[in-house]
Structure 1
Amino acid sequence: MNGPQTQAIAQYSLEESSSLASRYFEILDVEGQFRRHKANFLLPHRKDYYFFCLVRQGSSRHWVDYVPYTLQANRFYFTGPQQIQVKEKTEPLSGIMLSFTEEYLQLQENQALRQLPILENPEQGHELRLEPDQVQFLEDVLRKMLQEFAARHDWRNRMLHSYLNVLLIYLSRLYTGSFSGGIAGPDLALLKRFRAAIDQHFHRLHHVADYAELLHLTPNHLTDRIKQQSGKTAIQHIHERLMLEAKRQLFHTDRSVSEIAWQLGFEDASYFHRFFKRLEGKTPSFFRTSTREMYP
């Protein structure tokens, strides 16, 4: 692989990706070679939808953000709309693929699903290792969804919602068990609102006081509550989100460090340089060079 490309990172919608011309939801049982957007091979891209896959057989190699992985049997893979992906090597795949959009989650009956850990993905994960009984459970639920999706019976959408609810709750249990930083518990409303605010405003708001004002709290109260609920300080959450986007841009684009700093709301590129080095232990330029060396 010859390194990231210079053009802007592409984004694909479910409607243009779907073999069924679906705008909101799709589920497919895949046997053999399956490719979407053949033109995006080796090119960084984002999907505007959630993508889940239970793999029975496969060995394709992909990158999610700047982390490589090779598909393995009896594992569950998942990505969200914000994650940057690169297809490096494609091989025949056997498995079940499920895709749905933010718009689908905004339907009244689906809104509560958005708060589940597997969708919020606080640890930016993309792979779950499964035990045989877990594979069987997921296969059973996904096959029921396949049958319902294809049959188009009365109350089809309600049935799909019910199955999806079970699937995502089960996956969220696996998620919180697999990632040591996974957060669970009933009193997480503030943490979720805080994270949603960061996702929306991190390009221009970098201080706890900014988010405290948005959430109608004092900075000290926000810091105490976030530390209690997540084990991390409020400023750590803000900095982690900035670093994630900085690394995405450094790894997947050829934008200059100064341009990336400006896009992330740093008026002074030298301050961004110091900020990145303090958190990562290396300069932005060295991070870009050293991580790209992982490309074959």
Structure 2
Amino acid sequence: MHHVDFIDYPVSDDTIFFVAPGQVHAFDGANDYEGVIIHFNASFMADEESSESIFMKYDVFNAYDSLPYCKITSEEADRLMLLVNEMNREYSLTGAFAHRDYMQNLLRLYLIRIHRSGERKEMQKLYVSCIANRTFVRFRQLLEQNFHRVHTVQDYADLLNISVRTLTKYVSQSAHRSPLKIINERIVLEAKRQILHSTLSIKEVAFQLGFEDPSYFVKFFKRMTGKMPKEFKNEAKDR
């Protein structure tokens, strides 16, 4: 099992997990795993201009409304390993001409192949050619950048220069959920992380997430999780 953000997911052959910055994750200790970890920071994929780049960052990794893994065929796994082996070879050639560009392009090829062929269960496949899907992924991008302070659908619609009605329509077509539900779930996910894995008080967590009134944050957390923040923390520690 792979524990990602408070949920356990089964690990099986030909599975690729996507772990975004800030996610809390760990494999169980009951089994020996054989696989590959590709570790890179956000600035390594910093091209935010093209729709394809935004898709790779905010559809593959920062898709908190979907499962954090996909399945590939064994044949595709063999093809991806060719790219991994080339990454390993290039990694040691730090002084070579265009070393960083070469590594970035290998990584982009790897992610493009996953986006083309990976099967992400319980998630509708998104297409860069579809305006609703492009807008939804852009919404995800803005949410990830602003959820600490921006909490309303109107604000995100304004950032996208579209109406609330259009944003709601596009998000519903792409994710079968409302934008407000996705916003609230992202906020409460971060709240859980901070409550369990930081030294911040509940009041400090509330302020960090843009709640001027800590009591409103507590009510929000209770409405979303069914538990008070302290109750959630104590139950998690007892497991």
TM bucket, shorter chain = 0.7 to 0.9
SS of 1:164 mapped into structure 2: helix
SS of 2:18 mapped into structure 1: strand
Among residues 75, 87, 93, which one is paired with 1:133 in the alignment? 75
Shift in CA distance, 157/134, structure 1 to aligned 2, threshold 3 Å: same
Distance 1:71 1:93 in 2: 9
Among residues 115, 130, 136, which one is paired with 2:55 in the alignment? 115
Equivalent pair of 1:64/1:83 in contact (CA under 8 Å)? yes
Equivalent pair of 1:183/1:230 in contact (CA under 8 Å)? no
Read off the aligned partner of 1:221 and give its amino acid letter.
T
User: Are 1:146 and 2:102 matched, yes or no?
Assistant: no
Cα RMSD, aligned residues only: 3.5
Equivalent pair of 2:90/2:103 in contact (CA under 8 Å)? yes
Question: What stretches of structure 1 of length at least 5 have no aligned partner?
Answer: 1-60
Question: What stretches of structure 2 of length at least 5 have no aligned partner?
Answer: none
User: Could you tell me which residue of structure 1 aligns to residue 147 of structure 2?
Assistant: 202
What TM-score comes out, normalization by structure 2 length?
Answer: 0.77
Question: C-alpha deviations, 1:21-73, integer Å up to 9, x for none?
Answer: xxxxxxxxxxxxxxxxxxxxxxxxxxxxxxxxxxxxxxxx8753334568766
Length, aligned pairs only: 233
Among residues 56, 70, 81, which one is paired with 2:21 in the alignment? 81
Distance 1:76 1:283 in 2: 34
Among residues 240, 246, 255, which one is paired with 2:185 in the alignment? 240
Question: C-alpha deviations, 1:227-274, integer Å up to 9, x for none?
Answer: 233221121121111111011112213433232222211222232222
Give 1 or 2: higher helix fraction.
2
Distance 1:273 1:124 in 2: 26
Equivalent pair of 1:64/1:85 in contact (CA under 8 Å)? yes
Question: C-alpha deviations, 1:188-234, integer Å up to 9, x for none?
Answer: 22212222222222122211122222222232332223223322112
User: Could you tell me which residue of structure 2 aligns to residue 169 of structure 1?
Assistant: 112
Equivalent pair of 1:202/1:241 in contact (CA under 8 Å)? yes
User: Could you tell me which residue of structure 2 aligns to residue 44 of structure 1?
Assistant: none
